[in-house]
Structure formats: structure tokens, C-alpha cells
Amino acid sequence: MASDNKAALIDGKAIAQTIRSEIAAEVAQLSEKYGKVPGLAVVIVGTRKDSQSYVSMKRKACAEVGIKSFNVDLPEQVPEGELIDKIHELNANPDVHGILVQLPLPKHINEERVLSEISIEKDIDGFHPLNIGKLAMKGRDPLFLPCTPKERFLSTWHSN
């Protein structure tokens, strides 16, 4: 039985540019309609090269599409309580619609505790224990479901 299945070559860079253009247009519409733009806080602790590079790409992508980036860079030895205080500030900031904490965190910080402090409405990665639990339960809808970065961020922004 012969198969006519053929591989299709896709242009990832072109697709990414199309998605960025769509997001930029949506952000411009939101700005015009509401007088504000979505805000994303990216929290990084320490100076790991791989994490710094990844966060830099996130911040650059925000700038390219018009999303306001809130940069929180903390030293490697920051006390856990200080990191949690910063997350509480971001939770309370009405201009911040999404929060990402770059992982891994240093060994002296309880990752689970820190992630559970992110407001469930601003938990872009969907790591909040309520989101993870509902995601794992058959027939339950998570309060926040990470999907494509565009959809998950803009759906969070629309709800605020």
C-alpha cells in the first residue's frame, strides 16, 4: 500500500514574523481602544548566561510588538522574602498583566513557594498550583491554560 504523504517545508522565520505583525496590530488596537498596552513583567534572579539570553529574547520580543516590559533583575543571593515581595508588588501593579519568573531559581529559594505567590490571573506560564492541579484533573478546566504565547498573554490582558 503506497502512501502519498509528503513532507512540507515551512519557513519558520516568515511564520514568526507574521505572528509578530499580528500581535503588534492587536496591541495597537488595544492601545487605541483602552489607552494602555499590555504589560509583561519578567523576573530573573542571578546571571546564568542561558537564562539571561532567554530573558533578553523575551524583552526584545515585547519591544518589537509594543508590549510594555517590566524588567526585574535580582542578584543571585537575593533573599527569598525579597523576591516574594517583588512578586507581590507586580501582582498589585495594574499596568502589569502577566508575570514570568525565569527558572531555574538559585538553590536557596523555594521555587514552588515563589511560583505560588504569582497571582493566578497574571500567571503567564500556568505554574500556579491551582492551574497545574486543574490541568491534571480529567474534566476540569484550568483557571489559566497556557497556549500559544500570543493567546495566553492577550487573553490575560483582556480580562484585566
Estimate to the nearest angstrom the gap between the alpha carbon of 45 and the chain centroid: 16
> Does the residue 9 lie in any domain?
no
pLDDT in tens, 131-152: 766 666 666 565 555 544 444 4
> Does the residue 74 lie in any domain?
yes
**Distance (Å, whole) CA 74 – CA 22:** 33
> Does the residue 113 lie in any domain?
yes
> Does the residue 31 lie in any domain?
yes
> Does the residue 107 lie in any domain?
yes
Instruction: Supply the CATH number for residue 89's domain.
Output: 3.40.50.10860
Residue 66, domain extent: 25-158
> Does the residue 151 lie in any domain?
yes
* Number of domains observed in the structure of the chain: 1
* pLDDT computed for residue 72 by the predictor: 97
> Does the residue 20 lie in any domain?
no
Q: Is the pLDDT of residue 158 over 60?
A: no
pLDDT in tens, 11-41: 889 998 999 999 999 999 999 999 999 999 9
Query: Would you please indicate which residues are annotated as catalytic (active-site) residues?
Result: 58, 102, 125
Q: Per-residue pLDDT averaged across 116-135, rounded? A: 81
> Does the residue 40 lie in any domain?
yes
* pLDDT computed for residue 90 by the predictor: 98
Query: Secondary structure of the chain: what % helix, strand, coil (to 5)?
Result: 50, 10, 40
pTM across the whole model: 0.77
